[in-house]
Structure 1
């Protein structure tokens, strides 16, 4: 029985190495007949089975699954089919970053060493081929005839097209002077590039005809001429791109602000570099390998690529500072978003360019035929990706500078809606711009074979990441829309009466402001929680912790809770509002601020007091419905009562004739007559009912008017009298005073003054 289990394990050990159950274990539950006829495994299979079974038992999950399947099979009734034992599914172990780096380094290191070994074998161990001078000269003659014919025809076509290019450039520049006609010049530049490609296509067509006429009936010559024509197409296409960028002979079609000298310099050198690379790798090396031998072709490949690499590195570092300054100047003229990338590129461009040619050098050593195609393809893809990403980012940056303007009616009804929409739009455009940069970076890595973008985005982590991002964006979108709608509705109720709308009461403004703040907190909290749950964070502990924290805070801040509850009820009862004149305890002042916890009151002295709601037991509000005051005036007791009353009535009547005062008084004044009597004066009274907070204005005006009419009528105010009482001196003081007076005359009283 044990060897049967080993056999079953060994069968599956080749497909599931670590934690897989051998598929042949199904035989363990089969009949004894099949067990008896099973062949005896050899020693190697037994060893592999031992190792596989050890791996199965070592993994806890697979071991438990195997035990459960075996117990289920052992308890199956005899009249039922024995269930098949399936191998546990192996879970892929997640590798660390260090393990991934090690694996990639080991893979490419092995590939690198094998390619070097292959190159060494090509140079030293490839069989020699006899050199046939006659065949070589014949092929060279026909090859030269084709090359001269193709170049002559192509250069003639391009020379004939130069006047057309100049006219197109002049027309586009002339139209471009008007900002409304900005599209004409780009159209002319693209049209010139298309014409250049059309001339190249016509030359290739004619070149194919030349090959049919100039191959001397030899397939070898035709194949070599085909190599030249392919290289010509590739190189001239790259040169067409260079002419699109630099345009040395027609400056009016140059899309960038490059001087004529710089344009000719770089166009000449990059064209020469591309010709040397293309014709050297795609034409010279294959022909030398075919006509002479592989060793000579390999050496020629090394010499050509070494020359190209050294020349490119010299050009790069010779012009490093100049290009860096040009890039910085371009960054100064660019938008802020592009300026950051251009400045960063200006610091490292020479290292990127050097790495490009070094990689091309090594690729050409390993695979001369496909290295240039790969590099050219990757370069064109990179250029296209960068161009499209820059265009999209530029459009988004342009949109960022624009704002949406709503109609005056909408702005009147929803004052903050336009600002809020523009704010959300700005954030969305910035996010889209960041996503564009991220996608462009991944596509660049995909173009160079460093990252499989399409496989990543359609399966595994990429698909999950995209799904999470879409969900998060939808959550943020609906949260923003909900907050914008609700906040706009609240702010529409808080709108002032600039356009004839009724001004909401102070109570309404306070309650709506508190509700808006609470709504912002609730929506933000819910959004954050949902986003955290979408990215895989377990929010259950956060909710439990928030509940426990809330309970602890509620016990530790009972006064705060009391303040909040009291404040809410005061607001609902419309006890006070911002701008009311109130008396709270010993303080009297104007309410300047009301929050959910406290009220801010400023006294007429300028002192500002913050009073918690819970400390307010009673308060007086002077702005509730009406204002009133009682004016008492004291008159001398000896004055005529009727004269005093007539003077008071006259003062009130003149006061009520003033329009600015009459509009502040509610109803008519009430004269109470004499309301007080003392030994020196009597008091007459008049009462007024006014609009809220206007009682002092009316009172001050009334006092001035009463003073005026009392003076005209001769009504005197009460006379201030002071009664002075001098205490009598005691007997001792009187005797001493008398002795002192008599002592001066010998005890005789002085004679009386005759005048007295």
Structure 2
């Protein structure tokens, strides 16, 4: 048992010797390291091994040792002591320091390039020049070049009549407006034939190269350089011929004069030949056959001459090309006109930058600079061409409109206008996205921006996802608003089956509901779009609630106007076109909004009355109209005679068809309804259609005047009483007349 305890203590004491309890001081200094344990000698090791063997040999002790080991294995480990590591301090740089670092980085890279160029010119290893080998290689090279150029010129000369026939046939067909596809097809076909002739020439050139290399790898290498340069340059010239077409004007896609087309085709072809054959052929051959230093100097001289010549051509023709671009902008669509005018202002700077960049690239990397520039240029032309084509198609679609059937236009008056508006907006946004994608692809073509990496990883993928979700949100919002608004407008319109227009109340309520629906859909759409682009709308909602509470306290009258207007509308109190009296104003309702009502008097004055200021009002267009006509007759006239004259006048009115259709039921005679000292009053009343009471009253007054005159019925007259004069003087003589004792009429 004691051996088991001894071994167990030994096993536990080994890791304990390496443990240092933090925070507990030792007698020694903290800087003094703990001395390593003394290694046991041979005798001690033999004794320990023997004791362990005795323990393992005994079954009981072995089982007890196993139990002790398992107990130790299942014991929870001690918690590690956390190590305090000071935070790494990062130095924050200012914007000026960052700009300085970037400038220093590119400056050092540029200076290292120039240093490498200087070493190539001055310190490059010399190579012995063998005139015989150089002459032999040059002879085979010139033979191959002359054969290839001659064969290519000959087959292109044979194909020239075919080009002219194609152009004449296409132009003849193009004069017919229905045949617009033939000319573009012939232009593309001529370009394909040109490429096929180039491929045939390269095939023949490769066969000639295999027979003219004299079994020399150097000559074969030089001839392969020539064929590569020939393929690249002639492909670029084929594009120039596609644009300018100097020999066959009928196949020219643009309106360019023959002299201008020949001028630019010749200059650009010569420039491309000098660049291609100089950098791809001449410089490698000189470096290989003559000397690396001479090749570097030749590279600098060739590119310097090319750059100066290109700048000369650019600034010499600056005004002419700018004028042509401005004329083209005037004939183009508004969307393209803006880009063309902007390009007309900066095209010479872009062209100058192109050749300057090519100059520096060729100095630092002569072998790959031209391939990179030509590839980037070709990709740029393809991108610009495809973007222009797509944008042009979108512009043409924007100019077109959707025309619905007459039945649909009558049922949904605003649907066609709304559909055309949504379609125009969507196509305009698609055109803007096309331009943005084209710009990013151009940057990618020149190595300034990794578009595909941006699109598949990080911000690009997230941006595309957000744009797709926003497009779907706007799409469904537009569909929802179009459907709901069209249904409301269908309810507001009459149909071909003679369905009458809805009442004024219905029109007013539906119009208010459509406006409220537009505000709700717009608000919800804006909030969802803001949430999709990462804007936290919770503060906006909270702020809107607080602002609404503040506004509600400050605009109680406005809230009162809205609530009163809603209840008046639901109670069908008044509608557009009604004749109403509101307070002292009487007029026709012309406009009703959620806050006020607009009333126009017969004098032409227009009054805007808030709903909350209306306490009582009278509406003359509610069911029926009423005419109560009172006529005063002289007191001394016969009442029966006057009544009969009134009845005859009413009968004459009832015999008029246009007036009879306005009267509901029969007239009511009330007889004498008033009596004074000078007159009595006769009354007759009518029930009429709404707003027709005045028409009936005017017709009745004219007939009453007529029949009262025929019956000699007098109207009451004003009477005067003459009193006797006062007696103040002498008594009058008998000859003077005395005043009457009673007044006379």
TM over 0.5: yes
1:608 corresponds to: 606
Tell me by how many angstroms 1:232 deviates: 0.3
1:403 corresponds to: 401
The question of whether the paired residues in 2 share the 8 Å contact of 1:412 and 1:499 is answered with no
Residue correspondence of structure 1 range 200-599 to structure 2 within 5 A = 200-496=198-494, 500-599=498-597
Residue correspondence of structure 1 range 45-84 to structure 2 within 5 A = 79=76
2:172 corresponds to: 174
Q: Does 1:637 align with 2:614?
A: no
The question of whether the paired residues in 2 share the 8 Å contact of 1:627 and 1:690 is answered with yes
Tell me by how many angstroms 1:266 deviates: 0.2
The question of whether the paired residues in 1 share the 8 Å contact of 2:410 and 2:494 is answered with no
Superimposed CA distance per residue, residues 44-85 of structure 1 (whole angstroms, 9 cap, x where no aligned partner): xxxxxxxxxxxxxxxxxxxxxxxxxxxxxxxxx952697999
Distance 1:750 1:687 in 2: 60
The question of whether the paired residues in 2 share the 8 Å contact of 1:166 and 1:252 is answered with yes
Tell me by how many angstroms 1:556 deviates: 1.1
The question of whether the paired residues in 1 share the 8 Å contact of 2:411 and 2:494 is answered with no
Distance 2:539 2:183 in 1: 62
SS of 1:667's equivalent in the other structure is: strand
Distance 2:686 2:389 in 1: 76
Distance 1:210 1:462 in 2: 51
After superposition, the Cα gap between the structure-2 partners of 1:430 and 1:755, relative to the gap in structure 1 and judged at 3 Å, is: closer
Distance 1:96 1:463 in 2: 31
The question of whether the paired residues in 1 share the 8 Å contact of 2:481 and 2:521 is answered with yes
Distance 2:100 2:497 in 1: 71
The question of whether the paired residues in 1 share the 8 Å contact of 2:411 and 2:495 is answered with no
Greater displacement, 370-379 / 661-670? 661-670
After superposition, the Cα gap between the structure-2 partners of 1:251 and 1:91, relative to the gap in structure 1 and judged at 3 Å, is: farther
RMSD between aligned residues: 2.7
Distance 2:518 2:210 in 1: 78
SS of 2:565's equivalent in the other structure is: helix
Greater displacement, 666-675 / 286-295? 666-675
Distance 2:502 2:419 in 1: 25
Greater displacement, 643-652 / 375-384? 643-652
Greater displacement, 115-124 / 348-357? 115-124
Greater displacement, 672-681 / 161-170? 672-681
Distance 1:552 1:755 in 2: 92
Tell me by how many angstroms 1:728 deviates: 3.5
After superposition, the Cα gap between the structure-2 partners of 1:78 and 1:549, relative to the gap in structure 1 and judged at 3 Å, is: farther
Tell me the matched-pair count: 671
Tell me by how many angstroms 1:310 deviates: 0.2
Distance 1:483 1:190 in 2: 46
Distance 2:598 2:737 in 1: 79
The question of whether the paired residues in 2 share the 8 Å contact of 1:363 and 1:371 is answered with yes
Distance 2:455 2:140 in 1: 51
Tell me by how many angstroms 1:640 deviates: 2.3
TM-score by length of 1: 0.85
Distance 1:81 1:496 in 2: 88
Match 1:195 to one of 173, 193, 197: 193
Tell me by how many angstroms 1:32 deviates: 6.9
The question of whether the paired residues in 1 share the 8 Å contact of 2:410 and 2:495 is answered with no
After superposition, the Cα gap between the structure-2 partners of 1:263 and 1:750, relative to the gap in structure 1 and judged at 3 Å, is: closer
Distance 2:384 2:90 in 1: 36
**Structure 2 residue runs without a partner (length 5+):** 1-13, 21-73, 739-745
Match 2:132 to one of 94, 115, 134: 134
After superposition, the Cα gap between the structure-2 partners of 1:578 and 1:300, relative to the gap in structure 1 and judged at 3 Å, is: same
Tell me by how many angstroms 1:106 deviates: 4.3
Tell me by how many angstroms 1:460 deviates: 1.3
Distance 1:190 1:635 in 2: 103
SS of 2:671's equivalent in the other structure is: strand
1:678 corresponds to: 676
The question of whether the paired residues in 2 share the 8 Å contact of 1:170 and 1:252 is answered with yes
SS of 2:664's equivalent in the other structure is: coil
Distance 2:159 2:528 in 1: 63
Distance 1:681 1:224 in 2: 135
After superposition, the Cα gap between the structure-2 partners of 1:451 and 1:618, relative to the gap in structure 1 and judged at 3 Å, is: same
Greater displacement, 447-456 / 487-496? 487-496
Tell me by how many angstroms 1:34 deviates: 8.9
SS of 1:668's equivalent in the other structure is: strand
SS of 1:406's equivalent in the other structure is: coil
2:162 corresponds to: 164
TM-score by length of 2: 0.86
1:111 corresponds to: 109
Distance 1:498 1:700 in 2: 38
The question of whether the paired residues in 1 share the 8 Å contact of 2:663 and 2:687 is answered with yes
The question of whether the paired residues in 1 share the 8 Å contact of 2:121 and 2:292 is answered with yes
Tell me by how many angstroms 1:540 deviates: 1.4
Superimposed CA distance per residue, residues 538-594 of structure 1 (whole angstroms, 9 cap, x where no aligned partner): 211111111111111111111111111111011000011111111112221111111
Distance 1:279 1:512 in 2: 77
Distance 1:281 1:33 in 2: 75
Distance 1:220 1:386 in 2: 41
Distance 2:259 2:647 in 1: 102
After superposition, the Cα gap between the structure-2 partners of 1:114 and 1:706, relative to the gap in structure 1 and judged at 3 Å, is: same
